[in-house]
Amino acid sequence: TQLLEQSPQFLSIQEGENLTVYCNSSSVFSSLQWYRQEPGEGPVLLVTVVTGGEVKKLKRLTFQFGDARKDSSLHITAAQPGDTGLYLCAGARYGGSQGNLIFGKGTKLSVKP
Amino acid sequence: NAGVTQTPKFQVLKTGQSMTLQCAQDMNHNSMYWYRQDPGMGLRLIYYSASEGTTDKGEVPNGYNVSRLNKREFSLRLESAAPSQTSVYFCASSQQGAAVFSYEQYFGPGTRLTVT
């Protein structure tokens, strides 16, 4: 059972375009994280969202946690080639073993110059 | 600080061979994890160790064993490698404590394993 669905799976855009990536679930999470993974490397944590409705900004990246804590989105403004990578969302379930995350399958983003 | 380090970076095994993947972290984290990443499957948890001296199975533990050697080191062993274990393996660590921060994981660079 895939608890975290990410969409789209693949996204190829031109430099300067805006994009949104979605992470959806029927489960409620106590917190949700976004990671970025570049080819040949491990995932790197971008942000953790904790409160329903929370919005966090990291330069050109805006992260939102749904009011019901079941979904999240990542919006990138004016994408640059350096944003290319695999974006993973990961949720911490209530009652789950401490530190254990459920990962989505990822959105592979390619930004062409 | 090196963060999380993994060795080796690449490995090719024949079916039936054994090997141990090494992982170490220098962030004084209590919890450590082993994942495998396969195309179209995302990251799947193999084993984890919530603290020194404890280990627990994750989603896909069959064919693997782990050892939490001390607080810094967590190794993954394949006793008899199979082609289905061809994958990229990642080690991660997290800090136990305030709930939110205990879920933030820091990953190593990965080991690319091919079993022929």
Residues B32, B24: Cα–Cα separation, whole Å: 9
Buried-exposed string A13-47: b where 16+ CB fall within 10 A, e elsewhere: beeeeebebbbbbeeebebbbbbbbeeeebbebbb
pLDDT of residue B101: 59
- Computed over every residue of chain A, the mean pLDDT equals 92
Mean pLDDT for A34-60 is 94
Residue B92 burial (C-beta neighbours within 10 Å; 0-12, 13-18, 19+): buried
A17 has a chain B CB within 8 A of its CB = no
pLDDT along chain B (116 residues), means of 10: 92 97 95 93 91 91 96 96 97 76 85 97
Chain A hits for B92, Cβ within 8 Å: 42
Q: Which of B88, B103, B104 is the best residue to mutate to test the A interface, defined by the most A CB atoms within 10 Å of its own CB?
A: B103
Cβ atoms of residues B35 and B23 within 8 Å: no
Give the gap in angstroms from C-alpha B43 to the nearest C-alpha of chain A. 6
Size of interface A-B (CB pairs under 8 A): 68
- Whether pLDDT at A108 is above 80: yes
User: Pairing state of beta strands B42-49 and B19-25?
Assistant: unpaired
Residues A109, A11: Cα–Cα separation, whole Å: 5
pLDDT of residue A105: 94
DSSP bridge partners of B44: B36
Helix (H) or strand (E) holding B99: helix B99-102
Interval A51-91: pLDDT, tens: 899 999 999 999 999 999 999 999 999 999 999 999 999 99
Compare all CA atoms of chain A with the CA of B47 and give the residue at the minimum distance. A100
- Tell me if A88 and B43 make a contact (CB, 8 A cut-off): yes
